[in-house]
Chains A and B, each alone.
Chain A
């Protein structure tokens, strides 16, 4: 849970967030590239989720499994939902939706790490 994949996810989220916020500040709607970037980021998060789910079946299972799974589902679904909303809103605010969503991801990943540290073993 605390491996390089988490770091990559957080850094990618922050870089993308900065990019989308800049796009929004410049009054640009999400371009095709922006949407594809968000889709690619969703794939990265999907990989992250799979790794986290696998860790559930290891010996360092978080004691608060319900909360962990809840956060995991939220993390997994967040960017796809934002992507859907951003496609409905082809204005600068669509870019802001993507930017805000990318800012939420690091928080979710950090919370997942905190929960994962407390193991029942």
Chain B
């Protein structure tokens, strides 16, 4: 990788554990987006809210992946915002879907705290935020 010298020190791409983190985030970005794409293109009218939410979750995972991978001031900001939205999303949708299943006739990544995905969506934002916190700039 020729651009390695220009990479910010906190870029997750620059360390082994960070690469694993990006792999997991990338898998979620891909699966959430692909799922939303299939849902929206084939049977959008059945549960528009749930499918739009899936698409939104997919975009958030993509931006979190990119933010963590790139690092630097901008990357950190993108990752921080994305991981925070993720955390709020999985908690809000988790609580709503447990309390009242009627609003969410079809599953999203965040339904029931991500139980359909082995609760990884619930754990992932914490790991992402921990990564950002651990690599905070030292003054």
A interface, CB within 8 angstroms of B: 66-67, 70, 74, 82, 85, 89, 91-94, 96-97, 100-101, 104, 107
Contact = CB atoms under 8 A, between A and B. Distances in A.
Given A89-B16, A96-B20, A97-B23, 12 more contacts: A66-B38, A66-B42, A70-B38, A74-B31, A82-B23, A85-B19, A91-B16, A93-B17, A93-B19, A97-B19, A100-B24, A107-B118
Contact of B20 (A70, A74, A100, A104): A100
Contacts of A70: 34, 38
Interface string B7-25: 0000000011101100110
Among all A-B residue pairs, the 10 with the closest Cβ atoms: A93-B16, A91-B16, A96-B20, A93-B20, A89-B16, A93-B17, A67-B38, A97-B20, A89-B19, A97-B23
Nearest to A96: B20
B11 to A, nearest CB: 15
Chain B residues touching A, majority SS: helix
Nearest to A92: B16
Contacts of B19: 85, 89, 93, 97
Interface of B: 15-17, 19-20, 23-24, 27, 30-31, 34, 38, 42, 118
A100 B23 contact: yes
Contact of A85 (B15, B23, B34): B23
B27 A104 contact: yes
Contacts of A91: 16
B137 to A, nearest CB: 24
A77 B19 CA distance: 18
Contacts of A96: 16-17, 20
Nearest to A107: B118
A100 B24 CA distance: 8
A16 B42 CA distance: 36
25 contacts: A66-B38, A67-B38, A70-B34, A70-B38, A74-B31, A82-B23, A85-B23, A89-B16, A91-B16, A93-B15, A93-B16, A93-B17, A93-B19, A93-B20, A94-B16, A96-B16, A96-B17, A96-B20, A97-B19, A97-B20, A100-B23, A100-B24, A101-B23, A104-B27, A107-B118
